[in-house]
Amino acid sequence: MIAIRRLTYTYPQRSSPALRDVTWDVADGEFVLVAGASGSGKSTLLRCLNGLVPHFSGGVLAGQVTVGGIDVVTAGPRVLSRHVGFVAQDPEAQAVLDRVEGEIAFALENAAVPPAEMRLRVEEALDLVDLTPLRDRPLHTLSGGERQRLAIAAALALRPRVLALDEPTSQLDPQSAEDVLRALVRLNEDLGLTIILAEHRLERIARYADRLTYLAAGRVAHDGPVREVLPRLPAAPPLVQLAGALGWRPTPLTIKEAKPFAAAVTPTAAPPAAESPAGLPLLQVEGLRFSYNGHLTLKDVNLSVAPGEAVALVGRNGAGKSTLLRCIVGLLRGQAGEVHINGRPARGRDVADICREVGYLPQNPDDLLFADTVADEIRATLRNHGLPERAAEIAASLERLDLGDVAAVYPRDLSVGQRQRVALGAVTATRPRLLLFDEPTRGLDRAAKEELLALWRGWLAEGTALLLVTHDVEMAAAIAHRTVVLSQGEVIAAGPTRDVLTATPHFAPQIARLFPGRGWLTVADVLAALN
């Protein structure tokens, strides 16, 4: 179905290629998982399949790419759109119209599909991804998972032979991600659709894929059956890491496969007791209520974060997590309740005043990027706060975030993971004592996450407080002292992370699901308990 021969591609105004001498084949009906570090070429490879590279992006391409026998460079995106459905990292960026049914029909109208056939195809696409009950809903009322499924439905309406998806679960809670993946598996198995899926959270996808292709610096570093390739990767899921450490063979990909091995594990030490830093809270939320258009979104929320403490805020898409962060920094005004920051009421203060004490990173990093270069983003923050712009400190900050080699690059030309780190550098340039992060690890590979966690641990040791909205339960298990679960605007669980995540099946990390009742959250917990 896909044949790539000696493909090398360089973006405009870049000195080094994004893809280097790639030769790669995908059979008709295969489900292929594409992995690799941020900036390794995953998104570029997917965009080569439908002609966006090079027809939209420009640049220099050498080699050959064919899909279903069609030469991509010769045919271009107009022809390839009938054969390759594409779902980008950000589903909101793909939406054109304001209602579900119209959004699916839009591509068909542009392709001059007759009305009778169009009606049939829209119905078919809605049914394939279980969106029929939502056909008349405005897009702004959809959850993240529903938006992802809508983007897939719009791509499927043209009945492509290949579906290419770029991190389709990056902003979904575990249950919504599972729903999307099961829909993809059904399309692959029932329709024989060829699926190419790029993803960082391999623990979600590994069991569904036939094959894993791992890119490194624009080259195919590993390619083969998932069970054989995963143990060789630096970004292996926790289950695979544990299997390697304890010598489990064959490598289990699911909790079910790992259960027989886990039954033989006998701990020799109890998990360490959870301890949260003490002290007067830097953030105190009391009885906060907020409504959108008369619909109560936050219902009497109580929350506190102490100096040196990391608190994870988890919940389903649409639970009110992002709304809570916006209320804290003053972007939204609660109808009742109080927010105190460092002992001072936030009511009556403007956003700029609050953000001198609070660093806020929204879900979409592009909202914060407006300068011409990455380094200028840091300088702009320092300038706005009247702080000195020391070149050595800016360079050190960018190096800590692994952005030193792109300091002079236009931020919006970077990958999603890199843009996330640029925005993180901008909001933390003033070193505020309270940081609010909304999905801060979205688009980040494992190595970048580990570097970020090390940076956060250093800040926590200095007394900085972190409130993290996240769907990445593995990250929450690694950093959070306490976890708060939000559901339909209400706090339904709160306490030490070890207690909350092990008692909440939807948000339990892989290790907690493998060893229920043991109090273990991470691979390090298991190995420590086994001495």
Sheet holding 19-26, edge to edge: 19-26, 2-10, 60-67, 70-71
CA–CA separation, 483 and 487 (whole Å): 13
Average pLDDT, the chain: 88
Confidence of residue 178 (pLDDT cuts 50, 70, 90): confident
Q: What is the pTM of this model?
A: 0.84
pLDDT of 74 > 80? The answer is yes
Nearest to 379 by CA among 401, 360, 407: 407
What is the b/e burial string over 471-494, where b = at least 16 CB atoms within 10 angstroms of the residue's CB? bbbbbbbbbbbbbbbbeebebebb
pLDDT of 208 > 80? The answer is yes
Which residue do the tokens 């594990």 mark? 265
Mean pLDDT of 455-467: 91
pLDDT of 248 > 90? The answer is yes
pLDDT of 444 > 80? The answer is no
Mean pLDDT of 137-157: 83
- Say if CB 314 and CB 471 are below 8 A apart: yes
Chain-centre distance for alpha carbon 370: 22
CA–CA separation, 347 and 22 (whole Å): 56
| pLDDT single digits (tens) 352-407 | 888 888 989 887 777 888 888 999 988 888 888 778 888 888 888 888 777 888 88
Confidence of residue 274 (pLDDT cuts 50, 70, 90): low
Question: What is the pLDDT at residue 102?
Answer: 94
Question: What is the pLDDT at residue 170?
Answer: 76
Determine if the peptide bond prior to 250 is cis (ω within 30°). Answer: yes
What is the b/e burial string over 31-48, where b = at least 16 CB atoms within 10 angstroms of the residue's CB? bbbbbbbbbbbbbbbbbb
| pLDDT single digits (tens) 472-509 | 899 999 999 999 999 989 999 999 999 999 888 888 99
Confidence of residue 197 (pLDDT cuts 50, 70, 90): very high
Confidence of residue 15 (pLDDT cuts 50, 70, 90): confident
Nearest to 309 by CA among 127, 113, 496: 496
Chain-centre distance for alpha carbon 509: 16
pLDDT of 275 > 80? The answer is no
Q: Is 400 helix (H, G, I), strand (E, B) or coil?
A: helix
Could you give the percent of the chain with pLDDT greater than 90? 47
